Structure 1
Amino acid sequence: MFKRAKRKVPGLNTSSTADISFMLLILFLVTTSMEVDEGLERQLPPMEKEKTEVSTMVDARLVLKFQILADNKLQLNDKPMALQTVRQTVESFVASKGKKHIIQIQTDRKASYNTYFSLQNEIVAAYNNLRNKRAEQLYGKQYQLCTVEQQVQIAEELPQRISEVYEVKAISGEEGGTQ
């Protein structure tokens, strides 16, 4: 009877889709921000295969004890201290005690991270100052400009010996405790 005429379906022009998708990709990369790692740069020693805990006695005169209280106040050996004096205190302590010194940090759980990181930054800055002074004495240049071998030698003379104390409270009815 009646035949319908076959219609041709028009094709889509896809020649510019690659250009558009590339432009969107560039726009996305430009407008978004990439997160930068923040935190402390520390390299932990490798984990030992055998877990052997050796209890050693430490002379109390070789320990510099910092405490951060819940209200973000700083104490040195149970006496109030300003954050601005930490660097000089650590420098003189490490210089006088040598390799056997220990810097102990005890932080209350309610203290802010800003106070903790500020204390850590001051301690690391003190070590950096001491290492720079030692590099100037030995090699006549800053620590960062020394060769790897020279940096290792200075780091062995002035090791970062920082100990952190965590309170462990046992929960009734459970083994161990929580931090």
Structure 2
Amino acid sequence: MLLIFFLVASSMDVDKGLPRQLPPAEHKQQQDETEVNRQRLLEIKITAQNQLLVDGKPMSQNQLSNHILRFIMARGKSHLISLDAHPESSYDAYFHVQNALVAAYREWRDRTAPQKYGRVYNQLSPQQREELRTLCPQRVAETYNMAEKGGTQ
């Protein structure tokens, strides 16, 4: 009985996070450099003070998703988004940027699905969804600085 009381009375922390499947670790000595067309690159930076910079200019979290959506729709599948979070930036700031990215890509696919298949994304078959993900790929490159310490949550 006492055990049940402690189970009910104790609070459980709920973790918040983003489900991501990471690629397997590759231990290459040298990575090949790839040239990127600057017209097709959107640079997003989170500073140590959690300020959001898009292509070097300050932007609010509220504007980010729409800005990303306009950028990827104008450039199609040849776009690239670079995300650079300072190691001392908060996880919360990073989390909000990731949410904006997910929302922009979801909206892009939601707008493309009726044009391509005549149905909304949620009504597509698994094969059609995979084709749409190929047509509307999520192209985000994150930079990591392992030499510096990480931030807070």
TM class by smaller structure: 0.7 to 0.9
Identity between Structure 1 and Structure 2 (%):
38
Q: Residue 174 of structure 1 corresponds to which residue in structure 2?
A: none
Once the two structures are superposed, the pairs formed by residues 26-175 of structure 1 within 5 Å of their partners are 26-47=4-25, 51=28, 53-167=31-145, 169=147
Distance 1:32 1:150, change over 3 A: farther
Distance 1:161 1:26, change over 3 A: same
What one-letter code is carried by the residue in structure 1 that aligns with 2:134? E
Q: Relative CO higher for 1 or 2, CA cutoff 8 Å, sep ≥ 6? A: 2
Q: What is the CA distance between 1:26 and its match in structure 2?
A: 4.5
What one-letter code is carried by the residue in structure 1 that aligns with 2:117? Y
In the aligned structure 1, how far is the partner of 2:102 from the partner of 2:86? 21
Give the TM-score of the pair, scaled to structure 1.
0.71
In the aligned structure 2, how far is the partner of 1:137 from the partner of 1:37? 38
Residue aligned with 1:64, SS: strand
Q: Residue 20 of structure 1 corresponds to which residue in structure 2?
A: none
Q: What is the CA distance between 1:66 and its match in structure 2?
A: 0.7
Aligned residues: 149
Give the TM-score of the pair, scaled to structure 2.
0.82
User: In angstroms, what is the RMSD of aligned CA positions?
Assistant: 2.4
- Structure 1, unaligned stretches of length 5 or more? 1-22, 170-176
Q: Deviations for 1:29-86, whole angstroms, at most 9, x for unmatched residues? A: 44445554521122223455x7473221111221100111122111111111121111
Residue aligned with 1:75, SS: strand
Q: Return 128-137 or 24-33, whichever deviates more.
A: 24-33
- Structure 2, unaligned stretches of length 5 or more? none
In the aligned structure 2, how far is the partner of 1:45 from the partner of 1:165? 15
In the aligned structure 2, how far is the partner of 1:43 from the partner of 1:110? 24
Q: Deviations for 1:112-168, whole angstroms, at most 9, x for unmatched residues? A: 211111111011100000111112222333323321111101111111111112235
In the aligned structure 1, how far is the partner of 2:38 from the partner of 2:48? 25
Specify the structure having the higher radius of gyration (Cα). 1
